[in-house]
C-alpha cells in the first residue's frame, strides 16, 4: 500500500517500501512505526539490540538535539500496544508513541475581485458587505504603536509557519534567510544539523527546498505580508520575518521533524547570542487530527513544551467542523501545554463560523477566518476560509507584541523566556473583544484584538474584581440586592466601565463608571427585580481604561412561593381518658428556596399541642409537624381546633382538627385507650385516607354508610406494627361513584363499637 507526501512545487507520490503501512484516515496509527525519544547519551545500537526480537530498527533521526527517532518493527512478532508498553517501561526511553496520520485543515476558496487593503475586513471592518463595523482585530490602532519587525533589544522577529510550503518569490512576503548558510553547497555551514537550509526547511524530504504551496502562501500573508509598500495586502505584522517550514504532513513524524527544526533554530539563536539561528517567537500550524486524543500524541505535545521553554509561543487552528473538541478531541488544540494558543474562526459579523470547532476548556479565542484576503502563489492574491486563516492572525499578533514590548520586558524575557512569553499569551487572551457568541464556547469568550493586547502588555491594568458570578434566587414581585468590589492594585488611577451588552430590564447597577485610585476599592451594588417566573441570565463586562478585563455572569432565578399541607382537615376518634398520643401533618415546599413557617393555634384548647411553632422547610422538600392529643379528663363529645400556618409570600394555610371523644362499650380500660383514628383530607373529592395509630387490636371491622344508613364500603383491617390504614376512593363495592354529601364511618370489633365519625365528600 502507499503513502503520499507533497514535495517540491508539484505533488509527487512516493511509494513507501514497507508493505506494512496501509492507507490511514487522519489520526490513524501507522502500522509498524513508532516515534521514540531516548534519554540523553543512550547508545542507539544497544537500544535496538535490546528489542531485536521484534526487529525494532531506527529508520530516521527526527531531532538529534532532543534524541527523537523514527523506528519500525515487525508487526507479526508483537502486538503494537504491547510493544509500546514495553518501551515506555524501558530505562532508555523518555517518551514513546505510535506514528500517526495527520489531517490537513484545508479551506474554502473564493476568487478575488480587487486586490486591495480594503478587502481585508479582518484588519479594518467598516461594516460594508454585510459585515459589522468594528468586527476586526483593531489593526489600525495597533499600527499606530508599532508595525513590528525588531524588538527593543534589536532582535529581528521571526514567525515559523509550518505548512505545505509557501511562495518564496512573492514580492509581498518578507522571508527569513539563514545568512550563516551558503545555499546549495551541500554543506551544513552553520552546524545546526541541517544542510542548505538557507530558505527554511522541507521536513517532507529533509532538504532546504521550499515547495510552492497556495495554502501556505495564504497563511504567510496573514501573518506578515509587507505593509505600506504600495502593493497587494498587509499582514498583521508589516515587517516580521517569516520562516517557512514545509511540514503539514499526513505523517506525524514529519510534523515532529518540522517542529524540531524550529526548536533547533531558536536554541541556536539563544546559544550563539543571536549570531546564528533565528529569533523565532511564534509557530503557526493550520493542520491537525480530527477527534485526536492528547494521550496518544505525547511527543507532539512535548514539542510545544520544549519550544515554550526557550521562549516560543505556538498557535494551532482547531477543527473545521462545528464540534465541541472538549468532547470529541482534536490535535493539537486539546493539548494542555501552556505554550499553545488555540484558535477558532470568526466572521465579519463577529460570530463563530458555522463550520468551526469550539470548546470551553480547549479553545482559547476566536480570530477572523472567513473570507480572508491574502497572498497566494506569486503573483496572485485571493480569499480563503477556515480555521487555517484564523490562527495566523494570532501568530502575527504575537510578533507584533514582541515589537511593542519595552526594553525592561525584553531584558526579563531573555533571562526567563518560558515565564515571560506566557505574559504575551496572557495579554492576548485578556485583550480580546468579548463576544456573546463565544461566551461558553472558548476560554476567553472573545475575539482577538491586537491593539488591546499591546495595551495590556505596555500598560498593564492591575484591576481585581471580587467575584466571577452573582446569583439571585428571588420570589416573584420582590427586589434583591448584592454587591461586588473593584480594587485597583496598580500605581495609577484607573477608569473602570461596566457594560451590560444585552441591556436586561431586570438588572440595575448603582454605577457603571468608576474612578478607582491606586490601592483603593469601590463597591458596586447590583439590584435585581422580578416580574415573571423563570431563569434570566446576563453578563457584566468590566473594562479598565477602555481595555476589556473580564466578564461576570449574573443569574436570576424567580420562583413562585408555594407550600401545601398533606390535608386541610383531620378527624380524630379517640376514647376518653387516653393519655398523650401523636399524629403528624406534612408540609411540602414546592418552591426553589427554603420557606420559613410560623404556626399558631387560633382556638386554644388544652387537649392539643404540637412539637414546634416554627419550622423551615427546604426547597422541594417536606417537613412534618407532630400533633399531640390528650383526652384525659374530657367528656364524651365533639371538639374542634384550628391551626394557622403562616408561610409569608406563600400565603396562610389552615388546618381544622375535629376530635370525637368516645367511650366504646365492652372494652376494658387498657384497650379503650388504644385506638386513635384520623381521616384526611376531610372534606375530600377523590379519596380519603383513614389511619389507625397505636392500636392494640389485631383485626377490626371498618364500614362507611351514607346518610340513609346504607353501607357503601366495608373492609376488615389488620394492624401492622401498631399502625394500619384504609383508603376509600369514594366508590361503592360495585365501582359506582358515590354522590357528594355526608357519610358516616364506624369501627367495630366482635360487634362492639370502637368509634364513629363523619366525613364529607365534595
**How far is Cα 395 from Cα 416, in angstroms, rounded to an integer?**
21
| CATH class label, 104-458 | alpha beta
Taking a C-beta distance cutoff of 8 angstroms, is the pair 357, 369 a contact? no
Q: Is the dihedral of CA 419, 423, 428, 432 positive or negative?
A: positive
Lowest mean pLDDT among 162-176, 355-369, 530-544: 530-544
Taking a C-beta distance cutoff of 8 angstroms, is the pair 315, 349 a contact? no
**How far is Cα 166 from Cα 212, in angstroms, rounded to an integer?**
5
- Among 314, 255, 278, 272, smallest CA distance to 101 is for 255
| CATH class label, 463-559 | mainly beta
pLDDT at 40: 83
Select, from the ranges 227-236, 392-401, 495-504, 672-681, the one with the highest average predicted confidence (pLDDT).
392-401
**How far is Cα 222 from Cα 385, in angstroms, rounded to an integer?**
12
pLDDT at 721 over 80: no
The residue count of the chain comes to 762
Band (8; pLDDT cuts 50, 70, 90): very low
Residue 649 per-residue DSSP state: G
pLDDT at 3: 30
Q: Strands across the sheet with 534-544, in order?
A: 469-475, 547-559, 534-544, 494-499, 513-516
pLDDT at 697: 59
pLDDT at 2 over 50: no
CATH domain 29-100 topology: Alpha-Beta Plaits (3.30.70)
pLDDT at 350: 96
pLDDT cut 70: percent of the chain above it: 92
Helix (H) or strand (E) holding 135: none
- Among 647, 494, 62, 582, smallest CA distance to 302 is for 62
Residue 54 per-residue DSSP state: G
Q: Looking at per-residue confidence, does 311 or 762 come out higher? A: 311
Ordered DSSP codes for 669-688: HHHHTS-EEEEESSSBSS-E
Query: What is the CA 12 to chain-centroid distance, rounded?
Result: 43
| HEC readout, 507-568 | EEECCCEEEECCCCEEEEEEEEECCCCEEEEEEEEEEECCEEEEEEEEEEEEECCCEEECCC
Average pLDDT (72-86) is 92
pLDDT cut 90: percent of the chain above it: 69
pLDDT at 748: 82
Average pLDDT (309-316) is 97
CATH topology agreement for domains 463-559 and 563-761 = yes
pTM over 0.85: no
Average pLDDT (174-197) is 96
Average pLDDT (549-571) is 89
pLDDT at 99: 93
pLDDT at 298: 96
Ordered DSSP codes for 81-108: HHHHHHHHHSTTEEEEEEEEB-EE---E
Looking at the structure, give the CATH architecture of the domain made up of residues 563-761.
Sandwich (2.60)
Taking a C-beta distance cutoff of 8 angstroms, is the pair 588, 471 a contact? no
Q: Looking at per-residue confidence, does 508 or 112 come out higher? A: 508
Lowest mean pLDDT among 1-10, 28-37, 448-457: 1-10
Bridge partners of 755, per DSSP, are 747
Rounded to the nearest integer, the mean pLDDT of the chain is 88
pLDDT at 705 over 80: yes
Enumerate the domain spans of the chain: 29-100, 104-458, 463-559, 563-761
pLDDT at 25: 44
Select, from the ranges 367-376, 486-495, 660-669, the one with the highest average predicted confidence (pLDDT).
367-376
Say how many Å lie between the first and final Cα of the chain, rounded. Answer: 84
pLDDT at 27: 58
Per-residue model confidence as pLDDT tens digits over 353-393? 999 999 999 999 999 999 999 999 999 999 999 999 999 99
**How far is Cα 346 from Cα 408, in angstroms, rounded to an integer?**
35
Lowest mean pLDDT among 42-56, 535-549, 597-611, 742-756: 742-756
Bridge partners of 284, per DSSP, are 161, 315
pLDDT at 343: 98
- Among 363, 362, 384, 364, smallest CA distance to 373 is for 384
Band (658; pLDDT cuts 50, 70, 90): confident
pLDDT at 18 over 70: no
Taking a C-beta distance cutoff of 8 angstroms, is the pair 552, 467 a contact? yes
pLDDT at 193 over 60: yes
Q: Looking at per-residue confidence, does 48 or 671 come out higher? A: 48
Per-residue model confidence as pLDDT tens digits over 229-282? 889 999 999 999 999 999 987 899 999 999 999 999 999 999 999 999 999 999
pLDDT at 726 over 50: yes
For the chain, the C-alpha Rg in angstroms (whole number) is 40
**How far is Cα 747 from Cα 113, in angstroms, rounded to an integer?**
97
Band (695; pLDDT cuts 50, 70, 90): low
Amino acid at each position: 500500500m502507499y503513502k503520499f507526501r507533497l514535495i517540491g512545487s508539484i505533488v509527487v507520490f512516493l511509494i513507501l517500501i514497507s508493505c506494512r503501512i496501509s492507507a490511514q484516515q487522519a489520526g490513524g496509527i501507522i502500522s509498524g512505526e513508532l516515534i521514540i525519544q531516548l534519554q540523553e547519551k543512550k547508545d542507539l545500537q544497544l537500544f535496538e539490540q535490546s528489542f531485536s526480537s521484534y526487529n525494532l530498527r531506527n529508520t530516521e533521526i527526527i531531532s538529534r538535539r532532543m534524541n527523537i527517532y523514527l523506528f519500525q518493527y515487525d508487526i507479526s512478532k508483537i502486538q503494537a500496544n504491547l510493544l509500546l508498553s514495553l518501551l515506555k517501561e524501558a530505562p532508555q526511553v523518555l517518551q514513546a508513541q505510535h506514528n500517526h496520520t495527520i489531517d490537513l485543515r484545508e479551506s474554502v476558496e473564493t476568487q478575488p475581485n480587487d486586490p486591495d487593503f480594503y478587502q481585508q475586513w479582518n484588519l479594518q471592518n467598516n461594516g460594508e458587505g454585510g459585515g459589522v463595523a468594528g468586527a476586526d482585530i483593531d489593526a489600525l490602532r495597533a499600527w499606530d504603536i508599532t508595525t513590528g519587525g525588531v524588538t527593543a533589544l534589536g532582535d529581528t522577529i521571526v514567525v515559523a509557519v509550518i505548512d505545505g510550503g509557501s511562495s518564496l518569490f512573492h514580492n509581498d512576503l518578507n522571508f527569513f534567510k539563514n545568512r550563516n548558510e551558503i545555499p546549495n553547497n551541500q554543506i551544513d555551514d552553520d552546524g545546526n544539523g541541517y544542510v542548505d537550509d538557507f530558505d527554511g526547511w522541507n521536513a517532507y524530504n529533509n532538504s532546504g527546498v521550499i515547495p510552492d504551496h497556495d495554502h501556505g502562501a495564504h497563511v504567510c500573508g496573514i501573518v506578515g505580508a509587507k505593509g505600506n509598500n504600495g502593493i497587494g495586502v498587509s499582514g498583521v505584522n508589516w515587517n516580521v520575518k517569516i520562516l517557512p517550514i514545509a511540514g503539514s504532513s499526513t505523517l506525524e513524524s514529519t510534523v515532529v521533524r518540522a517542529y524540531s527544526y524550529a526548536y533547533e533554530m531558536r536554541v541556536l539563536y539563544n546559544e550563539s547570542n543571536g549570531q546564528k539561528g533565528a529569533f523565532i517567537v511564534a509557530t503557526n500550524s493550520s493542520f491537525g487530527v480530527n477527534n485526536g486524543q492528547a494521550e496518544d500524541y505525547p511527543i507532539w505535545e512535548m514539542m510545544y513544551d520544549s519550544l515554550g521553554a526557550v521562549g516560543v509561543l505556538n498557535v494551532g487552528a482547531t477543527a473545521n467542523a462545528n464540534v465541541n473538541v472538549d468532547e470529541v478531541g482534536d490535535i493539537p488544540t486539546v493539548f494542555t501545554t501552556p505554550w499553545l494558543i488555540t484558535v477558532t474562526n470568526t466572521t465579519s459579523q463577529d460570530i463563530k463560523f458555522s463550520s468551526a470547532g469550539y470548546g470551553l476548556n480547549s479553545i482559547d479565542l476566536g480570530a477572523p477566518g472567513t473570507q480572508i484576503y491574502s497572498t497566494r502563489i506569486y503573483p496572485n492574491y485571493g480569499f480563503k476560509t477556515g480555521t487555517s486563516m484564523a490562527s495566523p492572525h494570532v501568530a502575527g499578533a504575537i510578533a507584533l507584541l514582541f515589537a511593542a514590548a519595552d526594553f525592561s520586558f525584553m531584558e526579563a524575557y531573555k533571562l526567563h523566556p518560558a515565564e515571560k512569553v506566557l505574559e504575551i499569551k496572557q495579554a492576548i487572551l485578556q485583550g480580546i473583544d468579548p463576544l456573546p457568541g463565544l461566551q461558553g464556547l472558548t476560554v476567553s469568550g472573545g475575539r482577538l484584538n491586537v491593539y488591546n493586547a499591546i495595551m495590556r502588555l505596555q500598560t498593564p491594568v492591575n484591576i481585581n474584581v471580587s467575584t466571577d458570578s452573582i446569583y439571585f434566587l428571588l420570589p416573584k414581585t420582590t427586589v434583591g440586592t448584592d454587591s461586588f468590589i473593584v480594587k485597583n492594585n496598580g500605581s495609577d488611577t484607573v477608569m473602570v466601565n461596566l457594560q451590560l451588552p444585552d441591556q436586561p430590564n431586570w438588572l440595575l447597577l448603582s454605577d457603571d463608571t468608576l474612578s478607582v485610585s491606586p490601592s483603593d476599592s469601590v463597591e458596586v451594588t447590583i439590584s435585581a427585580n422580578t416580574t415573571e417566573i423563570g431563569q434570566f441570565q446576563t453578563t457584566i463586562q468590566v473594562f479598565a481604561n477602555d481595555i476589556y478585563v473580564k466578564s461576570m455572569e449574573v443569574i436570576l432565578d424567580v420562583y413562585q412561593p408555594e407550600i401545601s399541607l398533606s390535608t386541610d382537615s383531620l378527624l380524630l376518634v379517640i376514647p376518653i381518658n387516653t393519655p398523650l398520643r401523636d399524629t403528624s401533618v406534612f408540609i411540602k415546599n414546592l418552591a426553589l428556596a427554603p420557606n420559613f413557617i410560623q404556626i399558631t393555634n387560633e382556638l386554644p384548647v388544652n387537649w392539643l399541642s404540637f412539637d414546634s411553632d416554627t419550622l423551615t422547610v427546604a426547597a422541594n422538600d417536606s417537613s412534618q409537624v407532630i400533633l399531640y392529643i390528650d383526652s384525659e379528663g374530657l367528656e364524651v363529645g365533639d371538639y374542634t381546633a384550628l391551626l394557622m400556618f403562616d408561610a409569608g409570600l406563600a400565603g396562610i394555610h389552615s388546618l381544622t382538627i375535629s376530635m370525637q371523644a368516645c367511650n366504646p362499650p365492652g372494652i376494658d380500660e387498657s384497650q379503650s385507650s388504644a385506638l386513635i383514628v384520623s381521616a384526611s383530607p376531610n372534606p375530600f373529592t377523590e379519596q380519603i385516607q383513614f389511619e389507625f395509630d397505636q392500636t392494640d387490636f389485631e383485626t377490626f371491622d371498618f364500614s362507611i354508610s351514607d346518610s340513609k344508613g346504607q353501607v357503601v364500603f366495608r373492609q376488615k383491617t389488620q394492624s401492622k406494627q401498631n399502625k394500619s390504614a384504609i383508603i376509600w376512593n369514594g366508590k361503592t363495592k360495585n365501582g359506582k361513584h358515590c354522590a357528594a354529601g355526608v357519610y358516616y364511618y364506624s369501627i367495630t370489633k366482635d360487634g362492639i363499637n370502637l368509634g364513629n365519625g363523619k366525613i364529607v365528600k365534595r
